[in-house]
Every structure is written in C-alpha cells, then in structure tokens.
Structure 1
Amino acid sequence: MKPTHASHVRREFFKAVGFYLRVVWPIVSVLVLIIVVFGFTIAYLEGWKALDGIYFAFVTGFTIGYGELVPKLGASRILAILLGFNGVLMTAIFAAVSVRAIEVAVKATAGEE
C-alpha cells in the first residue's frame, strides 16, 4: 500500500523535527535550566513557594504573563525581564527547527505528486 503524498510529507517533517531537536537539545536544555533556576531565585526573593516561582518563570519565559504572580522587588523584575528574553530565544529555536523541517520534508518529497 503506497502512502499518500500528504502522509509522506508529514512523516518526513516529523523525522526532520526529531533530528533537529536532537541537534539543538543541549541549547534548549540549558535554556530550560535557566528558567528553573530563575524561578527558584525569584520564589526565594519574593517569599513564594518554589513551585509558584517555577510556574511564574515558565509563564513569563513563554511570554504568556497571566498576572496572578507579580514580582515586587527590583532584582526579581530584572530576572523576569531576562526570563522574557530567554523565552523569546527558545521560541526562535523551535521556530527555526520547524522551518528547517518543512524545508527538508518538501525537498524529500519533491516530484512525488
């Protein structure tokens, strides 16, 4: 049974995503570690629970910003700004991996239509 063109493109895309995520995994893991460390630091400075600090760090890092936890201290606010930059960098890495995977999938399946 011959796979359809669309399913073949999807398979090639996910194969490429897996490959490129393994390439950038060391960078992404460091960025995630930074989010966790900053979360613990902000929680300590603000007197929050550790999980609240990590939650705040991920919500801020991914630029969601629900606003239920707000840092009051200057040092915490500076760390929150750095978390925002960290999140933008991580989002850019995932976007670059996705775009590259699309290019690979299109090239691998060219001429099959």
Structure 2
Amino acid sequence: MKPTHTSHIRREFYKAVGYYLRIVWPIFSTMLVVIVICGLIISYLEGWDAFDGIYFGFVTGLTIGYGELVPKLPMSRILAILLGFNGVLLTAIFAAISVRAIESAVRTTGGEK
C-alpha cells in the first residue's frame, strides 16, 4: 500500500521535532530539572511528600493548577511563581519547535497536494 501524502508529512514532522528537540535539549532538560528541584524544595518547606512536591511543580509549571496542593509559606509561593514562569517558557519552546517542525515538514514534502 502506497503511503499517503499526509502520512509522509506527518513522518517528516516527527523527524523535524526530534531534530529540533536535540538542538534545544540542554535548555529543555535544564528547565525540567528546575521544575523537579523547585517542587522538591516546596515539598520540603511545606512538609509534603516528595512525589506531591514534584507533582505540584509540574501542575504549576504547566499552568494547570488543580488547586489540591496550595503552598502556605511565602518562600514556597515565590518558588511557585518561578515555576509558573519556567513552565510558560517551557511550553513556548515546545510550541516553537512544533511550528518550526510543521514548516520544515511542509517545505520538505513540497507543500499541499
């Protein structure tokens, strides 16, 4: 069965995402580590389980904010604000990679048919 044009574009898109992620991986991984470390610090300060702190870090960093874990201490709240900024930047980098990969995939395959 011959692959369709859209499946070819999709394959090129995934290759481009992988390529661009390898380029920004040092930044991307550092931001992920910051989320984990801030979450662990907050869990320590607030007396939470370590897993809850990491969970809080990602929920806050990805701006989901379920609200079942709420930091009470001023230092924890400051770290939560930093988590939010870090998460917005992380999301923006991934969005930029995705847009660039779409452009690259369409350009490589010769556009729409």
Tell whether the structures are fold-level matches, with TM greater than 0.5: yes
| Aligned residue number for residue 86 of structure 1 | 86
Per-residue displacement from partner, 1:84-108 (whole Å, max 9, x unpaired)?
A: 0000000000000000000001101
- Give, in whole Å, the separation in 1 of the partners of 2:50 and 2:64: 19
Where do 4+ consecutive residues of structure 1 move more than 6 Å? Answer: none
Identity %: 74
TM norm structure 1: 0.95
User: Could you list the per-position Cα deviations for residues 5-38 of structure 1 after superposition, in whole angstroms to 9, with x for gaps in the alignment?
Assistant: 1111111111101100111111111001100110
SS at match of 2:64: coil
Q: Residue 37 of structure 1: SS of its match in structure 2? A: helix
Q: Which residue of 1 aligns with 2:9?
A: 9
The within-5 A match list for 1:1-113 is: 2-110=2-110, 113=113
Q: CA deviation digits over 1:26-82, x for unaligned, max 9?
A: 111100110011011001111111111111111000000000000000000000000
